[in-house]
């Protein structure tokens, strides 16, 4: 899936911009099927199962995504 196929929920120039301003990290996206895709720093909190990964994003980015979704 290409990034262009996703709807970016955070860092879209709402004045907040998160910890990277208008940069490329961390962010939350929504796919056409409604899935949530998270981009952030790799985390080593624990070893996830094969085929999965852990990312760490600031709470402010999650709050921005929730507002964008109207939840």
Q: What is the pLDDT of residue 64?
A: 93
- Yes or no: say if 34 and 68 are a contact pair by the CB < 8 Å rule: no
Distance CA(58)–CA(33), nearest Å, equals 25
Residue 1 is predicted with a pLDDT of 82
CB 19, CB 65: distance < 8 Å? no
pLDDT along the chain (71 residues), means of 10: 89 57 78 94 96 94 94 91
The reported pLDDT for the residue numbered 62 is 93
Residue 67 contacts residue 25 (beta carbons within 8 Å)? no
Domain boundaries defined on the chain: 3-69
Task: Confirm if 10 and 64 have CB atoms less than 8 A apart.
Answer: yes
């Amino acid at each position: 899936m290409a990034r262009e196929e996703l709807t970016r929920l955070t860092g879209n120039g709402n004045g907040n911009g998160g910890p990277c301003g208008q940069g490329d990290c961390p962010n939350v996206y929504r796919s056409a099927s409604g899935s949530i895709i998270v981009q952030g720093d790799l985390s080593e909190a624990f070893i996830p199962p094969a085929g999965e990964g852990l990312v760490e994003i600031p709470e402010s980015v999650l709050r921005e995504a929730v507002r964008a979704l109207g939840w």
